[in-house]
Structure 1
């Protein structure tokens, strides 16, 4: 088809269901780029320092975001933490909080307060299932060399947890975030309609070769094999809504990407 056929074509603004907007000076830099990227609705991650563990904190953060760009629809979340209770969930839902993000402890940026075991949160998940709130899962296990778990198979090793949570809470809305493997695509597809997954643009492009010697292509969960990338591409164009965009846009100072070695 000649490219001229697309001249004058205007696309409506899209939604990005996984963004990190940070806080302070970084927030002031990042928020103006949302509209520039063709997006007007963003699902905001709560892993600030300290993390957002109450509706009051999330709404105060939303107010700071709106001071920069009030035209964006900010969908706010809480950070799954031991202070989250069924009562907190009920109150957060009433105040418009959309979901709760789970980070396994230590697997990614600002996840030191994350989850060590999911069982203590079963009452919370019950409350979320009842209220219709979304559980967003960073789907990786922490590296454990005694179990042969590294960043390359951390996602695949997490998938039994996803399946277990879905079996226990079949009506709980679950999003497996930033899928990187064919295993993850298969696991989400095997679950019922309440389980979906997000895919990032960079995981549709990168493989392990791209980040192995380039810190600017390194982002957890790391890109995997060409066969995994092929599975993500297929899911992105054929899934009919089971998989959708979550860019995982996660800005860092250049110095932190280079390990403090200038820049």
Structure 2
């Protein structure tokens, strides 16, 4: 379940949110409350919530300031509540990457929709963090949670992994390795699965999607061209495989985590 922190100075609104909304039905749990931005910042540091629902206007520290100061503390998604339909505040919220800017009084359906979007953002942030912090192996490029290389592997499996790394952009299959290693496909598949937990085809797809994600982050190249670059001639099949392993479409990934998204954030800042 997703952990939610409520930061709202009006107790009636804060308690109303906590006790009248179906949090369990939304796959969430409220882990704490705060009545001002300073307390909210402390609880973000202590509780590490996934989603923070925060009022804009509060004593001691307003919601925007709290969000700014908490950005380095935790990878939360934020939903702002406000009784004021102010464009300046909405613009500032967007600059900070806030998921939603909702006006009071809040409708249950609005909150549920905002939570669903926030949960999607949390998942993407987790995935992005995993990509950035994953360890390198044998001098290879960064490996995300999509595919993990074994710490140690036999000669055959090492050769299979190396072959994928060197030829993933080409049309390859286990039969190529049968000829190259002079061992049966059955033996290679069993050996590979026992040491990596992946089938050979699963590993190949995961590795290709990993490479596609790296290209989508740093390149403005069209998605269909990137599909070809990583070994997929069938564009629709590439989309399906990418969604299977990354949890979103490649265009969504590029839009939210690519170079264009970063440049847009810099412009807004």
User: Which TM-score tier does this pair reach, normalised by the shorter chain?
Assistant: under 0.3
Tell me: higher relative CO, structure 1 or 2? Use CA pairs within 8 A at least 6 residues apart.
1
Higher helix share: 2
Higher strand share: 1
- Tell me the TM-score normalised to structure 2 length: 0.27
